[in-house]
A and B are shown apart, each in its own frame.
Chain A
């Protein structure tokens, strides 16, 4: 039977990250990482004045 380890939040990084790790007999058998924050710049930028796009994109 595999154990599951969840580390959320991962600190000392920029952004929000969650790790889920499956462990069987002391070995990692599977792992998932998820970014747990979404703002939608991909939805906001289209249709805007392109000259200002860099100002928003640099703030990701």
Chain B
């Protein structure tokens, strides 16, 4: 972002000295992340090389800038950074040079041109006419409404922009809501998570540039490639769960041996996210790998369930699903996984009080 580059992707790659081999490797990884067959890699490569820079405005509302931190950590692989460089980031409070009126002018100039992508980070307060978040003397709600009017699509990053996040936790003092609660006439993709994972933003941008539309989504507007599979089914500690080997206390022998964190309140059995596979900090690790349970941060209302309260297991828990045999974009491995997950829910509907409560909350919010 800081190192400004010009031209389309082919020119940027040449400027940055990225080899053809490295670029194609990235395209294959993106095809995999998006749950597309490997044969889509050349199509992605072609789209990225010919893509013009879509203008992007990044709005920060009731946020902690954690999602911005996630964006700024996108420095590996090199090509991913360049894909984000392809975006013309015209407005982003935390990293832009101008302040005050000049900053707001950058925003309004982009809005006047239209056709831009809007990224929203943070919740939108709606109580008391939205006075709990003001930028340049205008409320977040007012700004979002104006910016949304001319945008091509909205990418809501993080739990707060998705459903309100922790500002919306009971008693929700500021009436915080998600983007989809206040904007209804624009395509919105929710990259849920606290924070969202920048690799999912990269993949979403790649999908948008390749197919000229947002990726296939679930009923809550989360892309299936990132949120279609259950964490529990792709967890490296799953073997210990199946073997009945559980951590009973922090620092006990089981914890030192890397056993299952379920009894310490891990929400993996009710959480849907590609966290275990793409991981964080350049693919280094993820919370469960580091020894702490999952808090189900990609779900609606997850803050309402105490982090160390055990959830009830529901459904059958099959291992990771496999990509489709046919080269068809529609039925991806992710959607196949979602169908499998729904079947599992029917099977195990018996004793799943907390799990059902979370699912119920999500349905009600939808």
Interface residues of chain A, those whose CB is within 8 Å of chain B, are 6-16, 18, 36-41, 43-44, 48-49, 51-52, 55-56, 59-60
Q: Which residues of A contact B98 (CB under 8 A)?
A: 11
Asked if A7 and B65 make an inter-chain contact with CB atoms under 8 angstroms apart, the answer reads no
**What separation, in Å, do the CA atoms of A51 and B103 have in the docked complex?**
41
Asked if A11 and B135 make an inter-chain contact with CB atoms under 8 angstroms apart, the answer reads no
Interface-facing stretch out of B89-97, B112-120, B214-222: B89-97
Please count how many residues in chain B sit with their CB below 8 Å of the partner chain's CB atoms: 40
Interface residues of chain B, those whose CB is within 8 Å of chain A, are 60-62, 64-66, 68, 93-100, 103-104, 123, 125, 132-137, 166-167, 169-171, 173-174, 176, 194, 295, 303, 306-309
Q: Which residues of A contact B97 (CB under 8 A)?
A: 11-12
Residue of chain A at shortest CB distance from B170: A44
Residue of chain B at shortest CB distance from A44: B169
**What separation, in Å, do the CA atoms of A49 and B31 have in the docked complex?**
42
**What separation, in Å, do the CA atoms of A52 and B309 have in the docked complex?**
10
| B302 CB → nearest A CB, Å | 10
Sample of 16 A–B contacts (CB below 8 Å): A9-B103, A9-B104, A11-B94, A11-B98, A11-B103, A12-B96, A12-B97, A12-B99, A14-B64, A14-B65, A37-B133, A39-B166, A51-B307, A51-B308, A52-B307, A59-B66
| B133 CB → nearest A CB, Å | 4
**What separation, in Å, do the CA atoms of A51 and B295 have in the docked complex?**
13
The one of A15, A36, A38, A56 in contact with B303, judged by C-beta atoms closer than 8 angstroms, is A56
Asked if A44 and B306 make an inter-chain contact with CB atoms under 8 angstroms apart, the answer reads no
| B8 CB → nearest A CB, Å | 28
**What separation, in Å, do the CA atoms of A48 and B170 have in the docked complex?**
10
**What separation, in Å, do the CA atoms of A12 and B308 have in the docked complex?**
36
Q: Which residues of A contact B137 (CB under 8 A)?
A: 8
Knowing A9-B135, A14-B94 are in contact, say whether A41-B306 is a contact too (CB < 8 A): no
Q: Which residues of A contact B194 (CB under 8 A)?
A: 59
**What separation, in Å, do the CA atoms of A4 and B166 have in the docked complex?**
37
Asked if B103 and A38 make an inter-chain contact with CB atoms under 8 angstroms apart, the answer reads no
Residue of chain B at shortest CB distance from A13: B94
Asked if B166 and A44 make an inter-chain contact with CB atoms under 8 angstroms apart, the answer reads yes
Q: Which residues of B contact A8 (CB under 8 A)?
A: 100, 135-137
**What separation, in Å, do the CA atoms of A9 and B96 have in the docked complex?**
11
Residue of chain A at shortest CB distance from B173: A40
Asked if A41 and B166 make an inter-chain contact with CB atoms under 8 angstroms apart, the answer reads yes
Knowing A38-B133, A49-B307, A51-B307 are in contact, say whether A44-B171 is a contact too (CB < 8 A): yes
| A34 CB → nearest B CB, Å | 9
Q: Which residues of B contact A52 (CB under 8 A)?
A: 306-308
Asked if A39 and B174 make an inter-chain contact with CB atoms under 8 angstroms apart, the answer reads yes
